[in-house]
A and B are shown apart, each in its own frame.
Chain A
Amino acid sequence: MAACGDDPGRQAEGPSSDAGGASVFRDVSAEAGLDFMHRSGAAGEFRLPEIMGSGGALVDYDNDGDLDIYLVQSGSLESGATAENRLYRNALLPGAAGRPPIFADVTASAGVGHRGYGMGVATGDYNNDGFLDLFVTNFGPNALYRNDGDGSFSEVGSAAGVDDDRWGTSAAFFDFDRDGHLDLFVANYVEFRVSENPVCRPTGERDYCHPDNFDPQVDILYRNRGDGTFVDVTGAAGIDRAYGSGLGVAAVDFDGDGWLDIYVANDGNENQLWRNRGNGGFEDVALFAGVALNGDGAAEAGMGIAVDDFDRDGDPDIFVTHLREETNTLYENQGGGWFEDATFPRGLGYPSLAATAFGVQWLDFDNDGFPDLFVANGAVALGPPERTGVSRYAEPNQLFRGDGSRFEAVPMISGPTAALVEVSRGAAFGDVDGDGDVDVLVSNNEGPTRLLLNQVGARRHWISIKLQRSQGEPRAFGARVTLVRQGGERVEKVVGSDGSYASASDPRLHFGLDADTEVSGVEVIWPDAATEFFQDLVVNRENELVEGAGSGR
């Protein structure tokens, strides 16, 4: 086991120092050189793709240890007038942790300026060369950017067989057949044609049509052949037996049988929980598992997904973001394949009634050891006309602090940017400035991307885990990592970059430790189901766990 990472530059202060009313996040987009402005092409025609926004990725594409940023651009639905996606390289220098990073736009040299009408991005090392690749979903043909390892990428979507032209939204790389190669799941939204844009006036005023006006599209499951190409196994795997207007996807082993399952959040239709049968086939068990509908049996407008064991009972729980006047929904895993809608008892019901939420993730923003939630909000229907100066779709984002049982909304930005109310869509998560707490990248529809640096987490102790496999997919997507804290408490997380909405997060795992200055160890269940235990980890550092270097395998 090797301890690595930069010195945080200061001593962790322990639990006596918390947020204490200070700003949790600081928007450093401008000073960091992040000048991306999302354009939807909206021009009064109210075409559905224009309101769906896009996402971004926090991805260490050059393996230099810091997180770079890939941002998906939409542009224009008129042919030939699209803008390009952008890649920003993090120029964070060793020893500069905690200071705002400086980003350089390397789109041109990297060759990743895709010009489709972009929606989302997924990251994963599909060819096992050690470098994270980018899969871009579009309203139109999707694209796969193979990372060539020299700072540049090659677009191989067509050659790899993943350039389907349906309206892709969120996607996830995961190894469903445990062959050591990352497969790919793509959530598709609805069948929309620019030339056939209906006129909708849901409240009397012209506005975007509800997705119910369009036919949902089947999602896609690609199996990685291991030779740089994929084969569409949607039908063979049974994935085409149920589908809705897909917007969110997360791959997690929900039933603990060692095979990665897939959860799909659909906009206005029942969600799917595809249980991996381990033989190449999947079955949708969402309805009676209690995760297809909310606790009242109503289908909600599923957008983004966050999965984590928030209550530390050893199984993954699901949080799905929804439309205004619906609640976001927390499905608490009861074991035995059953979930319970625990939204209200956990304090997450009432605060979500007034907003439409998209990007989301569990993160321990204050490193107190309990998962918190960041929710990116922005309406899809016109708000009251009396608001001036901001978009009628703008809504404030939300941060919920958890104590392992209940959540409470906390103000997250203070000072001059307190009024930052935008039409947020995608959100990606990771420690961008390397100071030991989780930062947030927020994509705004028809607006600037925001990089929110966490100002408070590093006051407590933390540990970061990066896995390194000896063979197969190097980062061990799908591996289950259980941190054993002082006192024996076990905290489990899963390696992956999926979830949220149309976005990809850092696959490295971040654990808040509160006042703990050491940990008892880490148990890793590798994707091939082998278990290994690692000890002698160093807190306030990133620890790289190399397969075979631990004990018990």
Chain B
Amino acid sequence: MTARTLLAVAACLGGLDCAEGPPEAIGPAVAEERLASIEPSARTQLASAREALRARPQDPEAHGRLAMLLHAHGFLEAAATSYRNAQALAPDDARWYRLDAHRAAEAGDETQALAKARRAVEADARSVAARATLAELELRRGRLDESRRHFQAALGRDGDNAPALRGMATLALRRGAHAEAVVFVEKALAARPDDPNLHYTAALAFERLGDSERARQHLAASRRGPARRPAIEAPPEILARRGRGSRAALAAGTELLDQGRYEAAVRALREAVDTDPGSADAHNALGAALEQAGHPEDARLHYQRAVALEPDLATARANLGVLLGRLGDLDGAVLHLEAAARLDPGQADVHIALGAALEARGHPAAAAAAFRDALARDPSRGRAHLRLGVLLGEAGELEDALSHLRKATVLAPESGEARHLLSVALFRLGDPAAALEQERLAIALAEAAGHADLLGTARYTLGLLLRETGDLAEALESLEAARIRFPENADLLAELAHTRHLAREHGAAIEVQTRVVAARPGDAEAHYRLGVFLAASGDRTAARTAFEASLRVEPGFAPASEALARLNRER
């Protein structure tokens, strides 16, 4: 007989369950296939608990700890065995009966759950947790008087016990005492202000009291919690053991991310990664949290790790691609976004991001194809219509461009950018009146949204449109307004100078064009235009100098040589 077998015999003599447990281990067996389905950290914890039990087979705490771990990770039959062992060794300890009651409830065995909970109360009538567990089980059983008695006993010892207060609120609701329900649930909410179940109970109580506004407030608060909750809620001791797993941390972190609590999400997701470094999902989620929290380089590392661990994880590919695009690595962005689109072709967002990266990379045809792919998945994506419209316009396919830009404005009527780009396309199609209307709308929307760059661009375009329609005064006003936003933009200055020239404001035209020449000394056109404005002002000498400068920059520049010849003829 080996020492290990001797220990097992001793345990049997001690009243423990002898039917369970493999010969090579202490504690009940769990099939290898099922063990393989839990996280590595949980397997380690279970192994440690078994080691502790091997060292102290008569220790009820050792059996209880193993039971809680088995319970936490869903091995309910094995947990039952260990709980029974703990109960046999410590018959007066209410904990093991109470937790066993929860286990039985999770296993769907109401009769055993009630029996265990009653035994817990017998073992320790002062235990608030035991009372609350029994009360909850009696409530589920529909024995309302019994339930109330135990909830009241729990509250007699701990008046702020949230489960007991919620139980009393539920009981009050059941018998139509809605005001009383409100009193209990509000007290419970003071202790657990984020508990979605409590908020839902409060919503029902207030609605039935006729206070719909407060009912709606609580309903909204209840929706801030997780949408799906287990039908049988585990006790804190079990939740804590589940919480050590990476999946729990991942779930918690993802939820924080969804709520916009990025720093907290980073903390939770770091725990998930630390617990299970091989989890691509955890790295991907941590990357997203880091990116949102303003740490793009750290985010990139975790996205890359996720992709390395699971190359087919489309969301990680997409996240990495988008981030690389933001960081200026357009080749990397295209590579990963193409992979994401291939892995999960239904995501319009991915196709749009791919289109944007390809467009920035200078591949307009491929970009247009990506935007078309996005629209095939979701025709309501205004961004895809917008960029496709722009690309088609640049390719000279103006009618198609106009069609997509119009759709963009319909889908995103508040988008000043869409209005602006539609205006440009309309102008290019020869409809300046319609273009003007869209550009004025673009300005109004940009002003309302506080988009300074778009506002400047739209005013610039409006200036050109107004000039085209002959309204030089308003054109100048608009171009000057744009100049405030882009004071050094040479294109803008050149157009402004030209407009001043058309308005016969020669001095102003020369002043502005001189700035253009200063900004672009190697631009023959700029020198030539300055010459034209100088000639119009009557300064033929300076004009000659300007035309000569133009020809020095680009010998043979026809407009300058012709202008110079004209000056010579008129001498």
Name A350's contact: one of B108, B225, B312 (CB within 8 Å).
B108
**With an 8 A cutoff between CB atoms, is A44 at the interface?**
no
The answer to whether B174 touches A340 (Cβ under 8 A) is yes
Bound-complex Cα distance A128 to B33 (A): 59
- Tally of chain A residues near chain B (CB < 8 A): 39
Question: What 0/1 pattern do residues 194 to 208 of A give for CB contact below 8 A with B?
Answer: 011111000110000
Bound-complex Cα distance A196 to B377 (A): 8
The answer to whether A298 touches B229 (Cβ under 8 A) is yes
The answer to whether A346 touches B142 (Cβ under 8 A) is yes
Q: Which residues of B contact A353 (CB under 8 A)?
A: 106, 108, 231-232
A322–chain B nearest beta-carbon distance, Å: 9
Q: Which residues of A contact B226 (CB under 8 A)?
A: 298
The answer to whether A296 touches B197 (Cβ under 8 A) is yes
Most buried by B among A198, A327, A351: A198
- Give 19 pairs: A residue, B residue, CB < 8 Å, sorted on A: A193-B377, A196-B345, A196-B346, A196-B377, A197-B346, A198-B346, A199-B343, A268-B227, A297-B196, A297-B197, A297-B199, A297-B200, A326-B231, A345-B142, A350-B110, A353-B108, A353-B231, A354-B108, A384-B34
Query: With A287-B219, A294-B231, A325-B230 given, can you name 6 additional A-B contacts, CB distance below 8 Å?
Result: A288-B204, A296-B229, A297-B201, A338-B208, A349-B140, A354-B108
The answer to whether B200 touches A296 (Cβ under 8 A) is yes
**With an 8 A cutoff between CB atoms, is A385 at the interface?**
yes
Q: Which residues of B contact A78 (CB under 8 A)?
A: none
Most buried by B among A300, A350, A354: A350
The answer to whether B207 touches A385 (Cβ under 8 A) is no
A285–chain B nearest beta-carbon distance, Å: 11
**With an 8 A cutoff between CB atoms, is A32 at the interface?**
no
| In the complex, chain A residues 166-224 whose Cβ is within 8 Å of any chain B Cβ | 193, 195-199, 203-204
Q: Which residues of A contact B110 (CB under 8 A)?
A: 347, 349-350
**With an 8 A cutoff between CB atoms, is B465 at the interface?**
no
**With an 8 A cutoff between CB atoms, is B109 at the interface?**
yes
Closest 6 CB pairs of A and B: A297-B200, A196-B346, A345-B142, A344-B140, A350-B108, A298-B229
At the interface, is chain B mostly helix, strand, loop or mixed? helix
A223–chain B nearest beta-carbon distance, Å: 28
Known: A297-B197, A297-B222, A384-B33. Is A327-B231 also a contact (CB below 8 A)? yes
Q: Which residues of A contact B33 (CB under 8 A)?
A: 384-386
Q: Which residue of B lies closest to A340 (CB)?
A: B174
| In the complex, chain B residues 225-279 whose Cβ is within 8 Å of any chain A Cβ | 225-232
**With an 8 A cutoff between CB atoms, is B2 at the interface?**
no
| In the complex, chain B residues 103-129 whose Cβ is within 8 Å of any chain A Cβ | 105-106, 108-110
Interface residue ranges, A against B (CB under 8 Å): 193, 195-199, 203-204, 268, 287-288, 290, 293-300, 325-327, 338, 340, 342, 344-347, 349-351, 353-354, 384-386, 406
A298–chain B nearest beta-carbon distance, Å: 4
A387–chain B nearest beta-carbon distance, Å: 10
Q: Which residues of A contact B347 (CB under 8 A)?
A: 198
The answer to whether B208 touches A349 (Cβ under 8 A) is no
**With an 8 A cutoff between CB atoms, is B141 at the interface?**
yes
Bound-complex Cα distance A295 to B196 (A): 11
Q: Which residues of A contact B344 (CB under 8 A)?
A: 196, 198-199
Q: Which residues of A contact B203 (CB under 8 A)?
A: 288, 297
B248–chain A nearest beta-carbon distance, Å: 14
B503–chain A nearest beta-carbon distance, Å: 55
Q: Which residue of B lies closest to A346 (CB)?
A: B142
Bound-complex Cα distance A290 to B208 (A): 11
Q: Which residues of B contact A342 (CB under 8 A)?
A: 142
Q: Which residues of B contact A326 (CB under 8 A)?
A: 228, 231
Bound-complex Cα distance A288 to B210 (A): 11
Bound-complex Cα distance A326 to B106 (A): 11
| In the complex, chain B residues 78-114 whose Cβ is within 8 Å of any chain A Cβ | 105-106, 108-110
Q: Which residue of B lies closest to A344 (CB)?
A: B140
Q: Which residues of A contact B31 (CB under 8 A)?
A: 386
Q: Which residue of A lies closest to B138 (CB)?
A: A345
A271–chain B nearest beta-carbon distance, Å: 13
Known: A296-B197, A299-B228, A384-B33. Is A195-B345 also a contact (CB below 8 A)? yes
Q: Which residues of A contact B343 (CB under 8 A)?
A: 199
Known: A199-B343, A338-B208, A351-B108. Is A298-B227 also a contact (CB below 8 A)? yes
